[in-house]
């Protein structure tokens, strides 16, 4: 049986090592769901917390935590988890994505449409 969209997202996100980041769009492209960055975000929001899936390592293409009241505090939890891994995050949720960007084995810089320069 084929894995569901959420399972495919979780399988890729589970590969992101501590101290590294990916974007929603990058995850979408890695599971061949081009243009589905928002759906990746929703798949991660459906996780029951705490989760073994490192959802907190996925951020938006601007290198920011998506801050929102609708996240019911998970945005601040994400900030604290990233800080604990040594990734600097300011009070507005901005972080140095290009410095901490995860490239899966075999990938090259610019491999995704929202990729930042290496």
pTM: 0.86
Domains of the chain: 5-96 (1.10.10.10)
Tell me the sheet residues that pair with 53. Answer: none
The per-residue b/e assignment along 34-69, b for 16 or more CB within 10 angstroms, e otherwise, is: eebbebbbebbeebeeeeebbbbbbbbbebbbbeee
- What are the backbone angles phi and psi of residue 21, rounded to the nearest 5°? -130, 155
Q: Sign of torsion, CA 6 7 10 12?
A: negative
Query: For 6-62, how does the pLDDT look when each residue is reduced to its tens digit (9 = 90+)?
Result: 999 999 999 999 999 999 999 999 999 999 999 999 999 999 988 999 999 999 999
**8 Å CB contact between 58 and 40:** yes
């Amino acid at each position: 049986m084929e894995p569901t969209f959420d399972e495919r997202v979780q399988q890729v996100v589970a590969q992101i090592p501590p101290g590294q980041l990916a974007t929603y769009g990058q995850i979408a492209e890695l599971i061949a769901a081009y243009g589905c960055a928002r759906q990746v975000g929703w798949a991660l929001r459906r996780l029951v917390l705490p989760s073994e899936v490192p959802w907190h390592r996925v951020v938006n293409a601007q290198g920011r935590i998506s801050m929102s009241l609708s996240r019911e505090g998970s945005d601040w939890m994400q900030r604290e988890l990233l800080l604990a891994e040594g990734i600097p995050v300011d009070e507005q949720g901005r972080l140095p994505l290009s410095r901490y960007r995860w490239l899966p084995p075999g990938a090259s810089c610019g491999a995704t449409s929202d990729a930042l320069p290496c």
